[in-house]
C-alpha cells in the first residue's frame, strides 16, 4: 500500500501533465477528491485501496445529507471514477470500487439560447466606425459563427486563423485541437479588424494574440465578459447573457436549420455525442412551440 496523499498528488500531476487540463480544472478535481479523502479517513478509517462500492455509496449518501445537489454529487462521483481508473491502470488497486455505483438521477437541464433576432441585434451593436467597435464586432461575429468557448476565443493567435479558407484552429479541453469554419460574415469582420485596427494597436510589439487591447495586450476572459454584457444591454437583451450562451445559440440555430448532429459535435469539440444531443431537445421544444402557435389545432 502506498500513502494516500502520494497517490492523490500523483493523479493530480497526471491530470496536469499527461491530460493537459487547465489549472482551474485540476483544482476542481482536487477539491472533490480531498473531500472524499477526508470522509475515508474520518468516517471509514480506511486507505484508498481498501474502499469498496458500499463505501462509495455511503459517501454519496453523506453528501446528500449535507444538502449537496444531485448535479454536484454526480460531478464528485465522476472525479472519483477518474481517480480509481488511474489507480487501477497503475496497479495501485486491484478493483475499481466505483464501477457498480449508480450516480444520482439528474434533472435534464436544457441550455438557454438567444433567438436569432436577438443575436442579430447583438452583433449589430458594436460601432464599425471606431477601432474598438471593429475589434468587438470581429470577436462577437467569430464567437457566434464558430461556437468557440470564450477561453478558446481569447486564446487564439494570428496563426490560428486562415482567412482564405475561412477556418479557425481551436484548442479545447485537454489541449485537443480542432478546425472550425466561420463563414464570410465573420471573415469580413476579422479581415477589417486585422487590416485597420490590430497593426495600429500592436505597434512594434510582437504579441501573438489575435485579439488585442488598446495597450497591445491580449484580450482576457473577464474583459470579453464585460464587453458582451455591455453590448447585450445596448441591444435591448434583458435575459442573462454569457459567452457560453452564444455557443449554445450557435449549436441550436444550426440544428434548427437542419445541420447534422455529428458535424455540430465536431465543431463544438464534444468528446461524447450525448453532450451534443441536449441541443436536439432544445430544437424539439422549439418545434413544439411553433406547432402550438401556428397549427389550427395546436
| Catalytic (active-site) positions | 149, 173, 244, 247, 270, 279
Residue in the structure block whose three cell numbers are 476579422: 190
| Residue pair 208/159 in contact by the 8 Å Cβ criterion | yes
3-class DSSP string for 67-111: CCCHHHHHHHHHHHHHHHHHHHHCCCCCCCCCCCCCCCCCCCCCC
Query: How many CB atoms are closer than 10 A to CB 126?
Result: 23
| Residue pair 85/9 in contact by the 8 Å Cβ criterion | no
Q: Which residues pair with 179 in a beta bridge?
A: 169
- The CA distance from 103 to 272, in Å, is 18
Its sign, for the CA torsion 62, 65, 67, 69, is positive
| Residue pair 49/93 in contact by the 8 Å Cβ criterion | yes
Amino acid at each position: 500500500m502506498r500513502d494516500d496523499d502520494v497517490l492523490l498528488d500523483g493523479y493530480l500531476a497526471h491530470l496536469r501533465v499527461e491530460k493537459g487540463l487547465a489549472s482551474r480544472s485540476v483544482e476542481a478535481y482536487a477539491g472533490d477528491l480531498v473531500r472524499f479523502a477526508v470522509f475515508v479517513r474520518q468516517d471509514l478509517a480506511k486507505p484508498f485501496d481498501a474502499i469498496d462500492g458500499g463505501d462509495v455509496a455511503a459517501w454519496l449518501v453523506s453528501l446528500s445529507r449535507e444538502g449537496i445537489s444531485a448535479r454536484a454529487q454526480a460531478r464528485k462521483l465522476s472525479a472519483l471514477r477518474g481517480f480509481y481508473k488511474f489507480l487501477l491502470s497503475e496497479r495501485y488497486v486491484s478493483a475499481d470500487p466505483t464501477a457498480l455505483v449508480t450516480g444520482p438521477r439528474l434533472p435534464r437541464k436544457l441550455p438557454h439560447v438567444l433567438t436569432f433576432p436577438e443575436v442579430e441585434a447583438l452583433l449589430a451593436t458594436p460601432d464599425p466606425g471606431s477601432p474598438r467597435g471593429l475589434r468587438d464586432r470581429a470577436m462577437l461575429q467569430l464567437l457566434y459563427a464558430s461556437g468557440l468557448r470564450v477561453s478558446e476565443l481569447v486564446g487564439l493567435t494570428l496563426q490560428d486563423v486562415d482567412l482564405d479558407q475561412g477556418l479557425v484552429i481551436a484548442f479545447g479541453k485537454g489541449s485537443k485541437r480542432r478546425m472550425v469554419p466561420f463563414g464570410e460574415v465573420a471573415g469580413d469582420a476579422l479581415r477589417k479588424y486585422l487590416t485597420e485596427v490590430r497593426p495600429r494597436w500592436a505597434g512594434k510589439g510582437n504579441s501573438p494574440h489575435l485579439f488585442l487591447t488598446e495597450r497591445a495586450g491580449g484580450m482576457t476572459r473577464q474583459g470579453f465578459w464585460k464587453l458582451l454584457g455591455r453590448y447585450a444591454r445596448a441591444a435591448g437583451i434583458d435575459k442573462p447573457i454569457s459567452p457560453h450562451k452564444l455557443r449554445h445559440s450557435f449549436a441550436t440555430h444550426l440544428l434548427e436549420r437542419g445541420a447534422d448532429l455529428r458535424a455540430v459535435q465536431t465543431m463544438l469539440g464534444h468528446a461524447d455525442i450525448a453532450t451534443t444531443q441536449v441541443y436536439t431537445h432544445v430544437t424539439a421544444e422549439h418545434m413544439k412551440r411553433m406547432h402550438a402557435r401556428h397549427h389550427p389545432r395546436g
